């Protein structure tokens, strides 16, 4: 019987072990299920909204109450936006005070680092996020042109979200098409053809009133001539890169060619005689009064000014066209920076998770839908979209404080290549013609965008600019000669302070270009 007892004992033991293992398995399954349930419950628990403080500027009175649009954004993006507006006239002073107090918001607007240079030191000390590695993950922000980010970068890195603006469309030639037709002339495509048109507008009575009271172009000469007078001839924009280094655009032989051209045009009546004292704000007045038939301005200005022209002369037809080609056969435009002001993100108060949430907010407001909500409020209540796609603020929206001059100042916006070619109510044919002008533009970037001013320039820049501007104006209207111009350029080349300015500017440029 003993062997049988042993076998039975072994069998019972084995049976107990199996039962025990089974029980453990069930317990583990139950435990796993319980753990999974607990984990699911935890993940289902609402995530608290991210508090995001933003300080920006305002060109008009800030809203006094909580805006419904901000509530909608908070709900949609699971954030708690705390917006603070500073009057535009006080922005630099207030920002410097904030930086000195070390009590910065999560996001803050900087208009110009040259006005608030202390922020550059803060960037060097690691106070703000480098956003370059993140932008590609946000589709609307990633749509901004590469040059916008390049122009806004510092020392080869992107420390800000630029408030995006068009790169082109701010330079075009406005011309009286009805004057061309009356005189049997074509749109000038070259500088020689432009000279012919300007002289004809001055001497052949294009308005048909029998009086010698018209001129070719209205060009501002105060406080100095517009840079496009030179850059249209291929000088570069403010600075020109040659063999990896920068030189002032007025050093170039093309600058002297440009001054010779405008001087000849001035003598033939091709420029208003008040040129030395005319300001940019007077361009519109001279065109609307029928004093001049050519100007250089935003593409959309032609349509805007023509509306006023036609109140006096229904047959007037001021249009925007491409700039004439320089003697080398190319048309030269100055490219804009592509932004106005920049938003920095505070690294002290913002960890990477919060950074990504902030970029999510700005990515949404970089869409048309998000931008309109943030800027104008609730569609069909606070604003309406017109058939041509433009936005019109309602009286209700105005009462609540919505305005592009205030509520639109905390977002970066969306990129619209043609925003300088259109305005609410513009006829389709005019808009399509304006778009073609913008599409034809191949512009040149100013290589010094984003660079700090050199130490010598901070001290003497105003005096240097005045000497240059005065000489340019005087050469154009004949008070000084081209020989005088050459002497002034030589003075600058012989000036140790100016040479130090060139040296420092090139150092800044090379640092940015790394």
Phi, psi of 430 (to 5 degrees): -70, -40
* DSSP-based three-state secondary structure for 342: strand
Residue keyed to tokens 């507008």: 201
CATH fold of 172-334+443-512, please?
D-Maltodextrin-Binding Protein; domain 2 (3.40.190)
The token pair that represents 318 in the structure block: 């001021």
Lowest mean pLDDT among 38-47, 148-157, 399-408: 38-47
Report the percentage of the chain scoring pLDDT > 90.
Answer: 79
Lowest mean pLDDT segment, chosen from 111-125, 194-208, 365-379, 420-434: 111-125
Q: What pLDDT score was predicted for residue 9?
A: 38
| Contact call for residues 233 and 327 (beta carbons, < 8 A) | yes
- DSSP 3-state of 389: coil
* Per-residue confidence band for 97, with pLDDT thresholds at 50, 70 and 90: very high
209 Cβ neighbours under 8 A, 6+ residues apart: none
- At 187 the pLDDT is 98
Q: What is the DSSP string of 265-330?
A: HHHTT-B-TTGGG--GGGHHHHHHTTSEEEEEE-TTHHHHHHHHHHHH-TT--EEEEPPPBPTTS-
Among candidate residues 350, 342, 413, the one with its CA nearest the CA of residue 153: 342
Which of 24-38, 106-120, 253-267, 462-476 has the least mean pLDDT? 24-38
Q: Nearest CA to 346 among 22, 109, 49?
A: 109
Distance CA 427, CA 249 (A): 39
* Residue scoring higher pLDDT (229 or 17): 229
| Residue 452 pLDDT grade (very low, low, confident, very high; cuts 50, 70, 90) | confident
CA distance 119 to 117: 5
Q: What is the pLDDT of residue 67?
A: 94
> Has residue 35 got a pLDDT over 50?
no
| Distance of alpha carbon 502 from alpha carbon 506, whole angstroms | 6
319: its two tokens = 């249009």
Does domain 50-168+339-416 fall under CATH 3.40.190.10? My reply is yes
Angle at 415 between CA 50 and CA 298, to 5 degrees: 140
Q: What is the mean pLDDT of residues 217-234?
A: 93
The Cα 446–Cα 145 span in angstroms is 15
pLDDT attached to residue 45: 67
Predicted confidence (pLDDT) at residue 354 exceeds the cutoff of 70 = yes
Lowest mean pLDDT among 98-102, 293-297, 318-322, 334-338: 98-102
Give φ, ψ of 505 to 5 degrees.
-60, -40
Average pLDDT over the chain reads: 90
- Give burial (CB, 10 Å; 0-12/13-18/19+) of 317: middle
pLDDT of residue 428: 93
pLDDT higher than 60, residue 23: no
**Can you give the pLDDT at residue 25?**
41
Our CA dihedral for 31, 32, 37, 41, rounded to 10 degrees, sits at 100
Q: Is the pLDDT of residue 18 over 70?
A: no
Start-end of CATH 3.40.190.10 domains in the chain: 50-168+339-416, 172-334+443-512
* Helix, coil or strand: residue 417: coil
In the numeric block, which tokens belong to residue 84? 């603070």
pLDDT at 451: 87
pLDDT at 29 over 60: no
Q: Given the DSSP bridges, would you call strands 79-87 and 161-164 parallel, antiparallel or unpaired?
A: unpaired
Question: What's the confidence (pLDDT) of residue 44?
Answer: 58
Alpha-carbon gap, residue 57 to 411, rounded angstroms: 11
Phi, psi of 146, deg, nearest 5: -55, -40
Burial class from Cβ neighbours inside 10 Å (0-12, 13-18, 19+) for residue 14 reads: exposed
Is the pLDDT at 152 greater than 90? The verdict is yes
The residues with which 384 forms a beta bridge, in sequence order, are 392
> N- to C-terminal Cα distance for the chain?
94
Instruction: Assess contact for 291 and 204: CB atoms under 8 A.
Output: no
């Amino acid at each position: 019987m003993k062997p049988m007892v042993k076998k039975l004992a072994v069998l019972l033991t084995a049976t107990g072990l199996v039962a025990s293992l089974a029980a453990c398995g069930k317990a583990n399954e139950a435990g796993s299920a319980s753990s999974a349930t607990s984990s699911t419950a935890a993940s289902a628990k609402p995530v608290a909204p991210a508090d995001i403080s933003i300080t920006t500027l305002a060109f008009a009175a800030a809203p006094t109450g909580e805006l419904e649009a901000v509530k909608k954004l908070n709900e949609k993006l699971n954030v708690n936006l705390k917006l603070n507006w500073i009057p535009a006239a006080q922005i630099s002073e207030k920002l410097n005070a904030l930086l000195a107090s070390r009590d910065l918001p999560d996001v803050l607007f900087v208009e110009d680092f040259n006005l608030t240079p202390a922020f550059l030191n803060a960037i060097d000390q690691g106070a703000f996020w480098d956003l370059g590695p993140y932008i590609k993950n946000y589709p609307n922000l990633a749509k901004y042109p590469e040059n916008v980010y390049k122009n806004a970068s510092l020392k080869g890195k992107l420390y800000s979200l630029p408030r995006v603006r068009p790169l082109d469309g701010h330079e075009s030639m406005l011309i009286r098409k009805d004057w061309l037709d009356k005189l049997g002339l074509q749109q000038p495509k070259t500088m020689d053809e432009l000279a012919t048109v300007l002289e004809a507008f001055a001497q052949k009575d294009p308005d048909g009133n029998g009086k010698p009271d018209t001129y070719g172009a209205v060009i501002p000469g105060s406080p100095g001539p517009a840079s496009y007078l030179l850059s249209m001839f291929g000088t570069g924009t403010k600075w020109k890169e040659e063999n990896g280094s920068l030189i002032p655009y007025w050093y170039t032989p093309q600058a002297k060619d440009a001054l010779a051209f405008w001087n000849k045009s001035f003598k033939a009546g091709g420029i208003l005689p008040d040129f030395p004292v005319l300001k940019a704000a007077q361009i519109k007045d001279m065109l609307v009064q029928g004093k001049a038939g050519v100007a250089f301005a935003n593409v959309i200005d032609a349509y805007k000014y023509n509306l006023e022209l036609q109140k006096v002369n229904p047959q007037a037809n001021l249009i925007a066209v491409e700039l004439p080609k320089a003697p080398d056969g190319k048309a030269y435009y100055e490219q804009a920076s592509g932004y106005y002001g920049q938003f920095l993100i505070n690294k002290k108060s913002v960890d990477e998770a919060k950074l990504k949430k902030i970029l999510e907010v700005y990515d949404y407001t970089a869409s048309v839908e998000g931008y309109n909500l943030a800027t104008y409020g609730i569609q069909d209540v606070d604003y309406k979209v017109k058939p041509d796609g433009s936005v019109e603020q309602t009286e209700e929206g105005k009462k609540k404080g919505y305005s592009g001059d205030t509520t639109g100042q905390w977002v970066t916006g969306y990129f619209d290549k043609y925003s300088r070619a259109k305005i609410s109510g513009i006829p389709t044919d005019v808009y399509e013609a304006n778009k073609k002008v913008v599409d034809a533009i191949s512009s040149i970037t100013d290589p010094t965008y984003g660079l700090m001013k050199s130490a010598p320039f901070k001290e003497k820049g105003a005096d240097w600019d005045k000497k240059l501007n005065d000489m340019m104006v005087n050469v154009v209207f004949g008070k000084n000669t081209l020989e005088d111009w050459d002497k002034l350029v030589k003075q600058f080349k012989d000036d140790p302070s100016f040479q130090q300015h060139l040296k420092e500017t090139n150092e800044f440029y090379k640092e940015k270009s790394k």
